[in-house]
Amino acid sequence: MGALKLKLDKKAMLLYVVTDRTWLGKNHLNEQVEETIKGGATFIQLREKELDYDAFVEEALKIKEVTDKFGVPFVINDNVQVALEVDADGVHVGQSDASVGEARKLIGQDKILGVSVQTVEDALLAEKNGADYIGVGAVFNTSTKLDANTISFDTLKAICRAVSIPIVAIGGISEGNVLELKGSGVDGIAVISAIFAKPDILEETQTLWALSKEMVRG
C-alpha cells in the first residue's frame, strides 16, 4: 500500500464511515459496511471498544474482505496490533493513545496513519510526526462520544489552512447540519450514528454522500 500512503487522495475523506455495533441488532457489521460502500462511503474505520483481541481480529478480517473488494481504504481505530495482524491499510489514533511518532514506527512508512486533533498546534504536530490525514472535532455535539469537546468553526478553518494533509470533520454530523461546514476547508465528513442508527443504511449513505459533496464544493 506504499502508493496509498504517500498519495492519500483528499477525495477519500469525502464520506468517512466509522463503524458502531450499537445499532447492529441481528445484522452483521461487514454486511452493513458493504451497504455504506455501495451508498458512497469512501473510507472505513473499524472502531471497537468492547471486543477482546481475537474477536476484534475476526471482525477486522471480515471488514477487510469487503473493503478490499471495493478498493476502499480501511483503518483500525486505536489498536495498532490488530491493524498489523489483519494487514489493514492503517490505523487511526487519538491524542490520548500511543504517540503519533510511535504509531508510525510500529506500522511503518507504507501504512496510513490518521490522527484526531482539536487545535492548530496538534494538527501541525501530527503532520510533522507523519500523519497522513487528520480528523478534526467534535464539530457538533455528539452522542457517540460524550466526553468530546466541540471546536469552533473558526478553529476548524484555521486547522484547514495550517496543514496540507487531508482533513475530515467529525462529531455530531448529520444530514441536518453537514452544510453548516461549507467554507471551512475540510475535505469531507466522518459519520457514525448518522448512518448506522438509520433503518436504511444504503439510502442514508447516498444522502450524506451527496450532501458532503455539496459541502466540499461550497
Cα separation, 55 vs 27, whole angstroms: 16
Quick one: CA torsion of 164, 1, 117, 78, rounded to 10 degrees? Answer: 180
Type of residue at 70: F
Cα separation, 39 vs 46, whole angstroms: 18
Cα separation, 192 vs 198, whole angstroms: 10
Within a 10 A sphere around the Cβ of 19, how many other Cβ atoms?
Answer: 22
DSSP structural state of residue 146: T
Q: Which residues are catalytic?
A: 47, 116, 145
Within a 10 A sphere around the Cβ of 132, how many other Cβ atoms?
Answer: 24
